[in-house]
Structure 1
Amino acid sequence: MEFVAEAHVPEGSTTPSKLLLQPRGVPVPAEDYWVIYTDYVDHALVYSCSQRNEDGTCPEDRARVWFLGRAGTLSVDARHHMESLLSGLCVEVSRMQDISTGCDAELGVPTSVEAMPHAHGGMVSSTCLVNDIHTMANFDKNQYTGTWYVISHLQGDIYPYHRISHYTLDEQNSFRMLTHRITSPGECSTAWKFEGQAYNPDTSETTSKLVLKPFGMPVYGEDYWVIYTDYTDHALIYSCRETNEDGTCKAEASHAWMMSRDPTLTPAARSHMEMLLTEMCVDVSRLVDTPHECDELLGPESLIDQGRIIAPLHVFLWRNVLKVLSL
């Protein structure tokens, strides 16, 4: 049995994640379809309340929740993450019911959906023009502070073999970045340190488009664009040092950093960021993984002793994935 519906943002709404779901050919009212969370490539949490009490709360029998996954299974960590979000919705976790996936092969994917670029977690549109690249909306600098490990990078032969960066905010609401690097391959030599400032240019109204300028070095500032971050697990940074006449980025001038709060990166997070880079016309085969056997030499303990670093505001970590669940 097929069920077809359309989800749209109500007229006058400024919140694209709060949609209304209207079934086709069924005389029933549209139902809320609120996307509480998604990482787009692995799992999503959707909520609906079909009726409200006078005090604005949702009656227990009118609340609906779905744990959605791109695959037929969800990791324990992902389930725990979404269950933790339910408390903020005043939904009892014990009421969740798992859905059998034994017949998934028979269900298939409609041809009209299979043909869409985003059917398996991709993005609807892509651009090779640097000026049209979408960066992180509503970027929160406070949540971004703390320690980030470079997991994989695209910056040619000049990039060090190890890198950890630590971010604080200064009085101008700009980042102060203190970085530890080890540049000798195959050995844990003494770390080289440098400090810089990442600030928003006066001409930019987008907080996620910054310029990074190292202190004490005769170099120009480099773009530091936050393409994506969830603040607690991974982040994708992009920079183009020189464009072609048509507005695309020269291959040798295209830089990218895949970063994580830990020295490791989940396959889902890596796939997500590689997908974003592909949509930006970046060749992900050129990415180079950064080793981490020397991380103990890179801080942050020495930085804390110097009073140069603060702990991240959000020290908890979420892990991904679940099943399709419903109340």
Structure 2
Amino acid sequence: MKNLKYFLIATLITLIEHCRAQTCVVDNFKVKEDFDIKRYGGKWYAIGKKDPEGLFLQDNISAEYVVDEDGTMTASSKGRVKLFGFWLICAEMAAQYSVPDPTAPAKMYMTYQGLASYLSSGGDNYWVIDTDYDNYAVTYACRTLNEDGTCNDGYSIIFSRNPRGFSPAITRIIRQKQEEICLAGQFQPVLQSGAC
């Protein structure tokens, strides 16, 4: 009887993990429908983030998105970064965005470069999971996938138009979106003290 109990618990855990893995397949994540890149443009402040592996902006993160007449988007972002484990300095990054599939405009590809030699350059997916354009935006990037299609190394930033954060109603929406991209409980708040 005891062995049957352990077998049933193990089977239940396996089923839960299998279901979780199916819902956490990155290609199944929903992004903002009918995304309007022109409305997305402007200044955003990071309020929460889930970092990828490696060096990433620490705090006081903001981004200014500029959308040209032809719909091309570029961004300049800044924030503090920690070097050598103790030295915090303000750093700037620049990025250009392209839309590989015009039927999914919220799934962009971002090419970025640090404006100083100690910052990395490269490219990542940049998905707008959700936004109301006026208050919040939830962005997501997966750098590497596991064999089962779940994310091995990814990051997400929660943006606000206001550096002070959100109302309780918007916070509930954001928490739901964090669950939908399988990152609930993995975010840390981003300090916005005006240091950069």
TM-score (norm 1): 0.47
- How far apart, CA to CA, are the structure 2 residues paired with 1:258 and 1:218? 21
Deviation at 1:174, TM superposition (A): 2.0
2:94 paired residue among 174, 185, 195: 195
Aligned match of 1:155: 51
Residues 218, 258 of structure 1: alpha-carbon distance in 2 compared, 3 angstrom cutoff:
closer
The alignment status of 1:176 with 2:77, answered yes or no, reads: no
The alignment status of 1:265 with 2:163, answered yes or no, reads: no
Alignment of 1:218-257 (within 5 A): 219-250=121-152, 253-257=153-157
Q: Retained in 1: the 8 A contact 2:38–2:71?
A: no
- TM-align CA RMSD: 2.5
| Identity over aligned pairs, percent | 25
Structure 1 unaligned spans of 5+ = 1-125, 299-327
Give deviations 1:86-135, integer Å, cap 9, x for gaps. Answer: xxxxxxxxxxxxxxxxxxxxxxxxxxxxxxxxxxxxxxxx8211111110
Residues 269, 158 of structure 1: alpha-carbon distance in 2 compared, 3 angstrom cutoff:
farther
Q: Retained in 2: the 8 A contact 1:197–1:215?
A: no
Q: Retained in 1: the 8 A contact 2:82–2:89?
A: no
One-letter amino acid of the counterpart of residue 258, structure 1 = I
Deviation at 1:290, TM superposition (A): 0.5
Aligned match of 2:16: none
- How far apart, CA to CA, are the structure 1 residues paired with 2:55 and 2:126? 17
Residues 292, 211 of structure 1: alpha-carbon distance in 2 compared, 3 angstrom cutoff:
same
Aligned match of 2:109: 211
One-letter amino acid of the counterpart of residue 154, structure 1 = K
Deviation at 1:172, TM superposition (A): 4.4
| Dislocated runs of 4+, deviation >6 Å | none
Structure 2 unaligned spans of 5+ = 1-21
Paired residue total: 166
Aligned match of 1:136: 32
Secondary structure, counterpart of 1:242 in structure 2: strand
Q: Retained in 2: the 8 A contact 1:234–1:258?
A: yes
- How far apart, CA to CA, are the structure 2 residues paired with 1:229 and 1:152? 15
TM-score (norm 2): 0.75
Deviation at 1:222, TM superposition (A): 0.4
- How far apart, CA to CA, are the structure 1 residues paired with 2:56 and 2:171? 20
Larger strand fraction of residues: 2
Q: Retained in 2: the 8 A contact 1:198–1:213?
A: yes
One-letter amino acid of the counterpart of residue 125, structure 2 = D
Q: Retained in 2: the 8 A contact 1:153–1:258?
A: yes
Alignment of 1:57-136 (within 5 A): 127-136=23-32
1:287 paired residue among 183, 187, 196: 187
Deviation at 1:143, TM superposition (A): 0.7
